Structure formats: structure tokens, C-alpha cells
Amino acid sequence: MGTITVTPDPFNLVEFDTATIRRLVEEIAGSLGLPTDVDISLTVDEAVPHPIVATMADVVDGAIDLWCTGGCFEARDKTRAFSERHARAEITAMLLRTRDRLSGGFESAPSDAELLPGERTAWDCYTMGRVGALGHNVHRQKRRYDFRLQHGFTDAADAAFDRLWATPSTTWGAIREVCVETGAADRPKPKLPADLVRRGSRV
Amino acid sequence: MKRHLPESELARDERFRRNKIEDQIFDPRNIAMSTRDLGPAQMAVDRPAISERSRSLMHGIFVGEIQALEGAGRTCYDFDDADAPFALKLDMARQCWDESRHVEISCKLAEHMGSDIGEYGESTFLYAAACNPDPVMRLCGVNRALEGLAIDVFSSMKAFGESTQDPILTYCEDWMLADEVTHVKMGSDWLRRLTDTDPDRRERALEFQRTVDKVFSLGGFRGESEENPIQITRRFRELAGFSTEECDELAEIAAQAMEDARTMVAAAAAAS
């Protein structure tokens, strides 16, 4: 049986409860059919408030390594308060992406720190479409706007978004093809690293 | 009808939640965040969480538009003609019309960006500045300071819309920006007219404006460097009646606000 670790324990800067988050991870991992012998660690950077929302979901040496800002789980209308609705959606998304990495056609995808913004938003679109289909809190237009920022405010980008959102299954290769199709693959490489916020939490 | 309505009595439906300013000021995460490197704060597509930051900022502008409508409406009603001439009230009535349109534009923009009315908490500090019992102070605090801030925000967000080739954001910001220039100019014109023979009152009003400007520079929120998400827009401010010296002074106030915030954080960190 794999272990589930949530850090920090306890939270000091926000009104989050480690046991509650751990219980959510366990419940969602079970419902998604993740292998039960895989270790899962989730680090919540409690210093980073909403609206700085960022998540990373990797598989390192066979174990699931999740990281997110506290802002991801924070109630939008109450400073420092925990929102189970947002936490459920974000944890589901992170675990779906690690399931993709383990056995879902994304085995060859680079780590989250190495993904380009277009690749990441395309994968997120595929992920959030599935999160929404599972009945969680997902705002489709919010995700469309995120996608448009990286893929363009064009009909081609919107068509790609709709396709990715609705598909029950795709692969890393298909995600890269979408980036070519919308032109996101031709955009200049960002000046800032994709894991900039996470690097800060290691200071 | 009651005159001088306090912010605690503003009418809102069940979608809105009010933020307490003290919760933001005394948030224990502020110290930790002050040491983090999140890259330049200016709005750009490769910045962390740029879409959620944009949505949250524009929601703040949306509730600001509601409060600006309420503030201008109150100024039409709160004063006798001896304190506020009828022509000033006509200007405020016109501003109400503009602000109503801005609220509608902001609702449509929120739909485009993917946020809901009331999704984020509302701070009522704009309306608080519109509660001053002296109409000249209101004009300086709201029209010159806060509508001036709106010029900076709309101009920065318009530039962001252009950089991402988002036509809806770009046009929404451009249309609202045009009105804000008029609102600031109304403030500048009425300040001069109402204090023409009373230099002490003018100075008190300008001092109130400086205070509001400093509060709303929010420890680095506004300035003229890449570290500031919102850029001071000199061109539009000059169109709105600001002199070059006044623009320089505002830049200085903003820089001082950022320095003050750094000093406070350093002191708090040393004490913890």
C-alpha cells in the first residue's frame, strides 16, 4: 500500500487542515483508479495566495509528486479560508495528469518544469474537460480564456479547445500537434521558467 | 432620502461578499511573499497565473465601477447648490451614466474572461473616499486620485490586451479609458473653479488626493518600473488636466509607497 503525504503539517499561514486535504487526495486517487501501491506526496505552498494559482504534477522515480500554491485551494471571496470545492477540482486535475503520465499516453511527456505554456494549457484543457465530466467545479469559459492566451484568440484555437475539452482520451503526441495547429509551437520560448513560483518556495 | 450614506449601508445582493481591508494588510503571508521572486509584476502572457490575476483585477475594477456610480450619484444628492453648483451635479449625473455603462462593459468582459459576478471579494475603499463631507475633497479623492488610478489600470490592461491580441479586452479597456480621462478632467476643472479664491481649501483637497494616491499605490501596485503591475500613464493624465509636475509627484508618491512597504516588511520580518 502506497503512502500519502501532505506538507505542511500543520498549516501556519492559512486556515487549511492537513488531514482534510490528505483525505481528499486518498478519496480522489481511489476514485480515479490510480495504482494503490504508488506513493503520493502533495506539497502546498501556503505562503502563495490567490490569485497566484499554479500546480505541478509529476512522476518521480515511480512516485507521484504534486505541488500547488495555497491560492489553488483558497476561497475566492474569503482571505486565507479553505475551499473544498476548489481543492477537489485541483487535486482531481493533478491526479488525472499523473495518471496520464503513468499509463495514459503521456509517458514520454517532459516534466511540468519543462513544458511550454502552449503544451501545458492544451494538456490542462484535456484534463479540465475530464474533471468537469466527473462533476467537479470547472468553469469552461475560464479555461477557454486561459487556452486563448497561449493559443490565440482565433477560430482555430477555439476549435482545438472544444475538441480537447470533449475528448475522453488523447496522447502527448496529439497535444503537440494541437500546438502546431494553433501556432502556439511557433511562439517564442518564455523568458521565465515554468516552475518559477515553485522555485521560490524552495528558498 | 438619507444624505451621506456610509459604506456599511451600500446595497448588494447575495452574490457579493465584502473583504475587510485589515485582513489584507495583516495577512501573515505578506512577509513570506515579499522575499519571493515571481518575476516582473507587469502584466504579460508569460507571467505566473496571468489569467487568474487578470480576472481578479478586472473583477476589482468591476466593483470599483459600481462604487464610482454610487459615489457620483451621492454627490448629485448629498449637497445643496451652495456647496455643489448645479453644473457640477450635471457633470456627476453624466458620470453616473458613464459608470453604468462601465458596469455593463465589465459584466460582459467578465463573461469573456470566465469569471462570475461576485466570484471574488469586494473591497469598498473607493466608495469610502466618496464619503467625504466636502465635495471638493470628494472630487480630489475620487475623480482625480481614483479615476486617475483607473486611467493607469485601463491603459495597462489595454496594453496587455494588445500584446495577447485579445480584441475584446483591448476595446473594452479603450472605451472605458476614454471616459475616465473625462472624469479626471471634471475633477481637475471643478477643483480649480471651487477653490479659485480659497487656496487653503485647495491645498487641503490636494493633500487628501496625495493621501488617497499613496494608499492606492498599494506598496508597489502602481509605478513606472517593470516591478509594478500597473503603470502610471502620463499621456492620458496630461489630457485630463494633470501638469508634468503633478505626474512627477505621483511617480514619487508611488515609489515612496513601494519603499515604505519594503521597510514595513523588513521590520516585520526582523520582529518575527
CB B142 within 8 A of CB B126: yes
Cα Rg, chain B, nearest whole Å: 18
**Alpha-carbon distance A34 to A1, whole Å?**
12
Report chain B residues whose CB lies below 8 A from the CB of A54. 48-49
Instruction: Tell whether A190 is within 8 A of chain B (Cβ).
Output: yes
pTM greater than the 0.95 cutoff: no
Q: C-alpha grid cell for residue B68?
A: 464610482
User: Cα torsion at B78, B84, B85, B91 (round to 10°)?
Assistant: -70
> Are both A91 and A120 inside the same structural domain?
no
The dihedral sign for the CA sequence A178, A183, A188, A193: negative
Q: Tell me, yes or no, whether A11 and A100 share the same domain.
A: yes
Residues of chain B contacting A197 with CB distance shorter than 8 Å: 36, 38, 48-49
Q: What is the 3-state secondary structure (H, E, C) of B109-152?
A: HHHHHCCCCCCCCECCHHHHHCCCCCHHHHHHHHHHHHHHHHHH
A48, B64 contact by CB (below 8 A): no
Tell me: do A98 and A120 sit in the same domain. Answer: no
User: In this structure, are A101 and A116 located in the same domain?
Assistant: no
Query: Shortest Cα distance from B114 to chain A (angstroms)?
Result: 4
Query: Does the pLDDT at position B235 exceed 70?
Result: yes
Whether the link from the prior residue into A193 is cis, omega within 30° of 0, is no
Q: Which residue has the higher pLDDT, A100 or B272?
A: A100
Angle at B219 between CA B244 and CA B148, to 5 degrees: 40
The string of pLDDT tens digits covering residues B165-216 is 999 999 999 999 999 999 999 999 999 999 999 999 999 999 999 988 888 7
Residue span of the structural domain in which A125 resides: 112-186
Q: What whole-number distance in Å separates Cα of residue B187 and Cα of residue B147?
A: 9
pLDDT 10s digits, A128-183: 999 999 999 899 999 999 999 999 999 999 999 999 999 999 999 999 999 999 99
Of B37, B112, B115, the CB nearest to A200: B37
Residue-level pLDDT at A137: 85
| pLDDT tens-digit series, residues B111-160 | 999 999 999 999 998 999 899 999 999 999 999 999 999 999 999 999 99
Domain boundaries, chain B: 39-271
Q: Does residue B131 contact residue B194 with C-beta atoms inside 8 Å?
A: no
A12 and A77 inside one domain: yes
Within-domain flag for A200: no
How far does the CA of residue A74 sit from the closest CA of chain B (Å)?
11
Report CA Rg, chain A. Answer: 16
Give chain A's domain count.
Answer: 2
A46 lies in some domain: yes
pLDDT at A202: 60
| B10 pLDDT above the threshold of 80 | yes
Q: How many CB atoms lie within 10 A of CB B68?
A: 28
Pairing of strands B230-231, A63-69: unpaired
In this structure, the answer to whether residues A134 and A79 fall within a common structural domain is: no
Average pLDDT, chain B: 91
Of residues A180 and B37, which shows the higher confidence score?
A180
Q: B10-18: which pairs have CB atoms within 8 A and are 24 or more residues apart?
A: B10/B67, B10/B70, B10/B124, B10/B127, B12/B122, B15/B116, B15/B117, B15/B118, B16/B63, B16/B117, B16/B118, B16/B122, B17/A77, B17/A78, B17/B118, B17/B121, B17/B122, B18/B121, B18/B122, B18/B123, B18/B124
What is the CA B150 to chain-centroid distance, rounded? 5
Beta bridge partners of A74: A82
Residue ending a domain, among A74, A105, A136, is A105
Find the length of chain B. 272
Smallest CA–CA distance, residue B20 to chain A, in Å, is: 9
User: Looking at this protein, which amino acid is placed at residue A104?
Assistant: G
B39-271 classified as CATH 1.20.1260.10:
yes
Q: Are residues A86 and A118 in the same domain?
A: no
Nearest Cα of chain A lies from the Cα of B140 at a distance, in angstroms, of: 30
Q: Tell me if ipTM is over 0.85.
A: yes
Q: Which residues of B touch A146 (CB under 8 A)?
A: 51, 114
B96-107: average pLDDT:
97
**Cβ pair B114:A148 closer than 8 A:** no
Residues B170-190: b if buried by 16+ CB within 10 A, e if exposed? bebbeebbebbbbbbbbbbbb
Contact A197 B53 (CB under 8 A): no
Q: Looking at the domain assignment, is residue A16 inside a domain?
A: yes
Rounded Cα–Cα distance for residues B120 and B124 (Å): 13
Tell me the pLDDT tens digit for each residue of A64-114.
Answer: 999 999 999 999 988 999 999 999 999 999 999 999 999 889 999 999 999
* pLDDT computed for residue A95 by the predictor: 98
DSSP A61-77: TTEEEEEEEGGGTB-TT
Interchain CB distance below 8 Å, A52 and B28:
no
A90 and A25 within one domain: yes
Residue A79 has its nearest CB partner, among B24, B45, B50, at B24
